Amino acid sequence: MQESSANVDSPDWLNAIRWTEDGLVPAIAQDAETGEILMMAWMNRESLRLTAEEGHAVYWSRSRGKLWRKGETSGHQQVIKDIRLDCDEDVILLKVEQKGGIACHTGRRSCFYRTLKDGEWVAVDPVIKDPDAIYGNK
């Protein structure tokens, strides 16, 4: 991971972020090599701090109300190469190495696998691995 001028142990760099009223910030995961957008998730202060400290993406699951280490179930971790903050200080960009080549829980490379065609959302990217094979039957 690239070294930042901010000390990861210091809360100062976290204070620069414009968090939502719920204490969250959207985070976009982008392939560090290709520039492809892989997914978007939410982070809170703790998940972003842990991401910076551990070098692997940790998100906040709004549906589960807890920290979510990307790849903890699937093995498809995101290794952090760079962490960036946008000009409005309200969006995080994670440049990552996507382990296993799958970022989406549908078994696809990217969560952005549908395109708008003739007023309908059409899946245009293939399933790389069946989600049941990744996560088992739930």
Asked if 75 and 68 touch (Cβ cutoff 8 Å), the reply is: no
| 3-state SS, residue 107 | coil
CA 31 vs. chain centroid, Å, equals 10
Q: Which architecture characterizes domain 12-135 according to CATH?
A: Roll (3.10)
Cα dihedral 118→109→79→85 (10° resolution): 0
| Spatial CA neighbour of 111 closest among 94, 95, 123, 99 | 123
Q: Which percentage of the chain shows pLDDT scores above 70?
A: 91
Residue type for position 47 = S
In tens, the pLDDT along 69-113 reads: 999 888 999 999 999 999 999 999 999 999 999 999 999 999 999
In tens, the pLDDT along 72-84 reads: 888 999 999 999 9
pTM for the structure as a whole: 0.87
Asked if 38 and 110 touch (Cβ cutoff 8 Å), the reply is: yes
